[in-house]
Structure 1
Amino acid sequence: MKIQFFKIKHRFAALFVILLGLAIGIIGWFSFEKTEEAVIASALSIMHDDLEHVYGQCEMFHDRARSTMGIALENPAFKEYFSLPETRAGNRYDGNHHLILTPEQQVLQGRLDDWTYALQKRFPIVETCLIDATGQEHTRTTHRHKAPLADMSPNEGEASFFKPTFQLPPGEVYLAEPYMSVDAKEWVFAYTSPVVLDDGSKPAFYHFEIPLAFFKQFMMQNSPEVGETSKALQEKDPLSDRFVVLTAQGLIVIDNFRETNFSLKPGKGEDEPALLQDYLPKIDTLSDHPDFLSLIQKARNGEENHGSFTVDGMRYFITYKPLPTLGWSLVRIKSYDALLKGNISLTNIRNVIIAVALGVLILGFTIVWIVSSWITRPLSRLSIAMEALQNGRECVDVTANTQDELGQIVGHFNHMRREIEKNRDFLIQERNKLTTIIHSTQEGVVVADGKDTVVLVNPAAERLLGKTMEQIAQGGFYALLDDPEYIRAVIAGDKFGSMADVVVFNQLVLNFYASKFLNAEGEKIGSAALMRDITREKKLEEELRSLSFTDKLTGLLNRRWLEESMPVEFSRALRYGLNLSVLFFDVDHFKKFNDTHGHDMGDLVLRTIGETLRTMFRQTDFACRFGGEEFCVLLTNTGADQACAVAEKLRQKIGATQIQNMRVTISIGVSSNPLANTNDDKALLKLADNALYAAKKLGRNQVVRWDQIK
Structure 2
Amino acid sequence: MNILDARTLLCMGVIMGWLIVPMEMSAQPQENPQKAEDQAQFQMNVMLFRIKMFHQEVKSTLHYTMDLGFFREYFSLPESKYNTVDAIGVVQFSEAQKKLRRQMEQWSALLHERFVIGEVCLIDRTGQEHMRTVRGQVEDTHFFSNTESDSPFFAASFARKGGEIHVSQPYMSPDSRYWVVAYSSPVLLENGEIPAFFHFEIPLNVYSKVISTKDYGYMTANIQWKHDTEEEGQFFIIDQDGLLIADNHQEIRTELFEVQSEKEKEEGTNFMQLEQLADYLPHVSSISQAPQFLDAVEKMRSGKSGVQHFNIGDRPYVLIFQPIPETSWSLAHLDPVAGPGFWERMKHDAP
- Range of TM-score over shorter length: 0.7 to 0.9
Measured after TM superposition, the shift of residue 137 of structure 1 is 0.7
Alpha-carbon distance in 2 for matches of 1:138, 1:340: 57
Alpha-carbon distance in 2 for matches of 1:214, 1:99: 34
Trace 1:152-231 onto structure 2 (pairs within 5 A). Answer: 152-222=144-214, 225-227=229-231
Instruction: Indicate how the Cα distance of structure 1 residues 250 and 261 shifts in structure 2: closer, same or farther if over 3 A, else same.
Output: same
Is contact 2:152-2:171 (8 Å) kept?
no
Cα deviation digits, residues 35-91 of structure 1 (max 9, x gap): xx9921121011111111111111111111111112222222211110011112x11
Q: TM-score by structure 2 length?
A: 0.77
Is contact 1:251-1:277 (8 Å) kept?
yes
Measured after TM superposition, the shift of residue 134 of structure 1 is 1.3
**Larger-gyration structure (1/2):** 1
| Residue 340 of structure 1: aligned partner | 338
Measured after TM superposition, the shift of residue 253 of structure 1 is 1.7
Cα deviation digits, residues 320-368 of structure 1 (max 9, x gap): 111113211111223xxx3222199xxxxxxxxxxxxxxxxxxxxxxxx
Cα deviation digits, residues 540-573 of structure 1 (max 9, x gap): xxxxxxxxxxxxxxxxxxxxxxxxxxxxxxxxxx
Structure 2: gaps of 5 or more residues: 1-29, 215-226, 265-269, 343-351
Instruction: Indicate how the Cα distance of structure 1 residues 150 and 54 shifts in structure 2: closer, same or farther if over 3 A, else same.
Output: same
Which of 90, 110, 116 is equivalent to 1:98?
90
| Residue 317 of structure 1: aligned partner | 318
Instruction: Indicate how the Cα distance of structure 1 residues 289 and 218 shifts in structure 2: closer, same or farther if over 3 A, else same.
Output: closer
Corresponding residue SS for 1:253:
strand
| Residue 330 of structure 1: aligned partner | 331
Is contact 1:72-1:119 (8 Å) kept?
no
Trace 1:456-535 onto structure 2 (pairs within 5 A). Answer: none
Measured after TM superposition, the shift of residue 118 of structure 1 is 2.6
Is contact 2:308-2:318 (8 Å) kept?
yes
Trace 1:171-570 onto structure 2 (pairs within 5 A). Answer: 171-222=163-214, 225-227=229-231, 241-269=233-261, 271-272=270-271, 273-334=274-335, 338-342=336-340
Is contact 2:211-2:247 (8 Å) kept?
no
Measured after TM superposition, the shift of residue 133 of structure 1 is 1.1
Q: Which amino acid counterpart does residue 292 of structure 1 have in structure 2?
A: F
Q: Which amino acid counterpart does residue 310 of structure 1 have in structure 2?
A: N
Q: Which amino acid counterpart does residue 158 of structure 2 have in structure 1?
A: F
Aligned residue pairs, count: 292
Alpha-carbon distance in 2 for matches of 1:38, 1:211: 39
Is contact 1:224-1:243 (8 Å) kept?
no
Corresponding residue SS for 1:177:
coil
Alpha-carbon distance in 2 for matches of 1:216, 1:312: 26
Which of 76, 79, 83 is equivalent to 1:83?
76
Alpha-carbon distance in 1 for matches of 2:234, 2:149: 41
Cα deviation digits, residues 364-398 of structure 1 (max 9, x gap): xxxxxxxxxxxxxxxxxxxxxxxxxxxxxxxxxxx
| Residue 18 of structure 2: aligned partner | none
| Residue 72 of structure 1: aligned partner | 65
Identity %: 32
Instruction: Indicate how the Cα distance of structure 1 residues 161 and 41 shifts in structure 2: closer, same or farther if over 3 A, else same.
Output: same
Measured after TM superposition, the shift of residue 197 of structure 1 is 0.7
Cα deviation digits, residues 616-657 of structure 1 (max 9, x gap): xxxxxxxxxxxxxxxxxxxxxxxxxxxxxxxxxxxxxxxxxx
Alpha-carbon distance in 2 for matches of 1:49, 1:313: 25
Corresponding residue SS for 1:116:
helix
Instruction: Indicate how the Cα distance of structure 1 residues 46 and 179 shifts in structure 2: closer, same or farther if over 3 A, else same.
Output: same
Is contact 2:230-2:249 (8 Å) kept?
no
Which contiguous aligned blocks of 4+ residues in structure 1 show a shift greater than 6 angstroms?
Answer: none
Trace 1:553-702 onto structure 2 (pairs within 5 A). Answer: none
Alpha-carbon distance in 2 for matches of 1:189, 1:122: 17
Measured after TM superposition, the shift of residue 129 of structure 1 is 0.3
Is contact 1:47-1:319 (8 Å) kept?
yes
Structure with more of its chain in helix, by fraction: 1
| Residue 49 of structure 2: aligned partner | 56
Measured after TM superposition, the shift of residue 312 of structure 1 is 4.1
Alpha-carbon distance in 1 for matches of 2:312, 2:229: 24
Deviates more, 1:116-125 or 1:166-175: 116-125
Alpha-carbon distance in 2 for matches of 1:298, 1:330: 12
Q: Which of 1 and 2 has higher RCO (CA within 8 Å, sep 6+)?
A: 2
Corresponding residue SS for 1:295:
helix
Alpha-carbon distance in 2 for matches of 1:124, 1:284: 29
| Residue 137 of structure 2: aligned partner | 145
Alpha-carbon distance in 1 for matches of 2:161, 2:277: 30
Corresponding residue SS for 2:182:
strand
| Residue 684 of structure 1: aligned partner | none
Is contact 2:208-2:246 (8 Å) kept?
yes
Instruction: Indicate how the Cα distance of structure 1 residues 288 and 38 shifts in structure 2: closer, same or farther if over 3 A, else same.
Output: closer
Alpha-carbon distance in 1 for matches of 2:117, 2:230: 29
| Residue 218 of structure 2: aligned partner | none
Cα deviation digits, residues 198-238 of structure 1 (max 9, x gap): 111111000111112223212211498333xx8xxxxxxxx
Q: Which amino acid counterpart does residue 209 of structure 1 have in structure 2?
A: E
Is contact 1:50-1:224 (8 Å) kept?
no
Alpha-carbon distance in 2 for matches of 1:280, 1:117: 30
Corresponding residue SS for 2:110:
helix
Structure 1: gaps of 5 or more residues: 1-36, 231-240, 345-710
- RMSD value over aligned CA atoms? 2.2
Instruction: Indicate how the Cα distance of structure 1 residues 195 and 342 shifts in structure 2: closer, same or farther if over 3 A, else same.
Output: same
Corresponding residue SS for 1:221:
coil
| Residue 645 of structure 1: aligned partner | none
Cα deviation digits, residues 4-37 of structure 1 (max 9, x gap): xxxxxxxxxxxxxxxxxxxxxxxxxxxxxxxxx9
Instruction: Indicate how the Cα distance of structure 1 residues 219 and 257 shifts in structure 2: closer, same or farther if over 3 A, else same.
Output: closer
Is contact 1:178-1:189 (8 Å) kept?
yes
Instruction: Indicate how the Cα distance of structure 1 residues 45 and 149 shifts in structure 2: closer, same or farther if over 3 A, else same.
Output: same
Cα deviation digits, residues 148-191 of structure 1 (max 9, x gap): 22211111112222122222222121110111111111221200
Cα deviation digits, residues 394-432 of structure 1 (max 9, x gap): xxxxxxxxxxxxxxxxxxxxxxxxxxxxxxxxxxxxxxx
Is contact 1:302-1:327 (8 Å) kept?
yes
Q: Which amino acid counterpart does residue 62 of structure 2 have in structure 1?
A: M
Instruction: Indicate how the Cα distance of structure 1 residues 135 and 315 shifts in structure 2: closer, same or farther if over 3 A, else same.
Output: same
Is contact 2:118-2:201 (8 Å) kept?
yes
Measured after TM superposition, the shift of residue 268 of structure 1 is 2.8
| Residue 115 of structure 1: aligned partner | 107
Corresponding residue SS for 1:185:
coil
Measured after TM superposition, the shift of residue 311 of structure 1 is 4.5
